[in-house]
Amino acid sequence: MGVFLFPHFIPSGGGAGFSVLLNYWFHVPLSIALWMVNSSMLLFAVHYLGGISALGTLLGITFTSISVNIFTVYVDTPFSNVWIDLLFGSVFFGTGVSVLLRQGVSNGGVGVIALIISKYKKVSPGKPLFWINGVIFCITAYVIAWEIVVQAIICQWISTRVISWLYNAVLPRNILTFDFVWRKK
């Protein structure tokens, strides 16, 4: 997000959309705004998903915010084309979120709500995530620029396809999976 999406003010999700708005309105650094928005959803995670999932979510939020800060400050985007950055950012974002969701941990923000809907409605979390984020993107586009909504929806479409594909993929247990949540399944 910090290398490919945020330099173009493209929100990768609902939490990032709110973060972009906080940065735009109040000049709050993106990493801090991202942590504030995402950590506010921990109450939902504790109540609906359990304490272990909330702890994993807090770790994911913290590592994401630190990474965004490091990448925003120290790494320049390798491309100067917004569409190439959009493609790479969407794929990397979707891959990271799917790793978290496979472990029953959210990436924070509205990912918590999507995971709750997924748990109770028995659907892939990619679908509710897309629709919730779409509403937030429209608000962001209205406030900042309408062009952003097109890029944000494309980002969501690509990343939620990656999330749904990797979330439902059958992978050997010891390859490409990590145990962020330490509980018996």
Structure confidence at residue 184 (pLDDT)? 52
8 Å CB contact between 37 and 108: yes
d(CA 111, CA 84): 25
Identity at 161, one-letter amino acid code: R
Structure confidence at residue 158 (pLDDT)? 93
d(CA 137, CA 132): 9
Structure confidence at residue 178 (pLDDT)? 54
d(CA 96, CA 64): 10
d(CA 126, CA 164): 5
8 Å CB contact between 7 and 88: no
pTM: 0.71
Question: What residues of the chain score a pLDDT lower than 70?
Answer: 106-107, 171-185
Reading the block at residue 42, the tokens are: 């921990």
Structure confidence at residue 80 (pLDDT)? 80
Structure confidence at residue 90 (pLDDT)? 92
Structure confidence at residue 162 (pLDDT)? 92
List, as one string, the DSSP characters of 83-143.
HHHHHHHHHHHHHHHHHHHHTT---STHHHHHHHHHHHHTS-THHHHHHHHHHHHHHHHHH
Structure confidence at residue 86 (pLDDT)? 92
* All residues at 6 or more sequence positions from 125 whose CB lies less than 8 Å from its CB, including other chains: 101, 111, 114, 115, 117, 118, 163, 167
Structure confidence at residue 182 (pLDDT)? 53
Structure confidence at residue 123 (pLDDT)? 85
